[in-house]
Amino acid sequence: MLARWLPAAINTRPSEWSRAAIGMALGTLFSVWVCSQVFGVEVAYHLIGPLGASAVLLFAVSSGALAQPWSIIGGYLTAGIVSLLVAHVLGRTLGSACLAAGMALILMCWLRCLHPPAGALALTLVLADPATVAMGWKALEPIMLAAACMLLSALAYNNLTRIRYPKRPAEPAPVSAIVDSQAITAEDLKLALADMEAFIDVTPEDLEQLIHASELHAKRRSIGEVFSR
């Protein structure tokens, strides 16, 4: 039972940690700086928390479904509209902020743009600083500008450091000479993910590629064991 609380192994090298850390720092700095130049320091600094969280996703786990371009753009837009609407109708209280975050989550799921930092953005925007409150509905402008800058930073930095971003559609898995009727396909994985009824930040195509790669390593290991006898 206690073993469930132990951290899982991270299958990345320290060099990748450094690459992601530098990208996160540069992406956040660029986004906040551009936003501060256009809308002022107070407004820009008020958005730094959600932007930093987005940077972790876009630079450290850029292959995840929650870090794709539509996730951050759609997530920020959804959270911004919902939170401003709730603040206008119910006022700027802790309860209305939490309600806005919950409503934004439902809408993001429906629009397929789930992005966890957008939940923090909804809370932040309802309980905003005076400068942001004074902007009214125009507060969407710095939000979307910051999101666009973060996305541009991720597109440039990830690809310059040889990390494909955004994630491209997976190529069809090679078909073996003997067709196995029990072979797992992406469609099977989609059904399995649906059966789990939980948020899992991985695509069926990624799982399919992982399974085929595992099968290849298993075949190589078995062949090596045969020749070693």
Could you give the CA distance from residue 189 to residue 207 in angstroms, rounded to a whole number? 7
pTM (predicted TM-score): 0.78
Q: Per mean pLDDT, which range of 53-57, 150-154, 179-183, 211-215 is the poorest?
A: 179-183
pLDDT tens profile 39-56: 999 999 999 999 999 999
pLDDT value for 176: 47
pLDDT value for 122: 97
pLDDT value for 104: 97
DSSP string across 24-67: HHHHHHHHHHHHHHHH-HHHHHHTHHHHHHHHHHHHHSTTSGGG
Residue 216 reports pLDDT greater than 90: no
Given a contact cutoff of 8 angstroms between Cβ atoms, the answer to whether 165 and 55 are in contact is no
Take residue 130 and report the two structure tokens written for it.
């005076």
Q: Where are the domains of the chain?
A: 13-160, 186-228
Higher pLDDT, 84 or 205: 84
Mean pLDDT over each residue of the chain, to the nearest integer: 86
3-class secondary structure per residue, 98-135: HHHHHHHHHHHHHHCCCCHHHHHHHHHHHCCCHHHHHH
Higher pLDDT, 193 or 115: 115
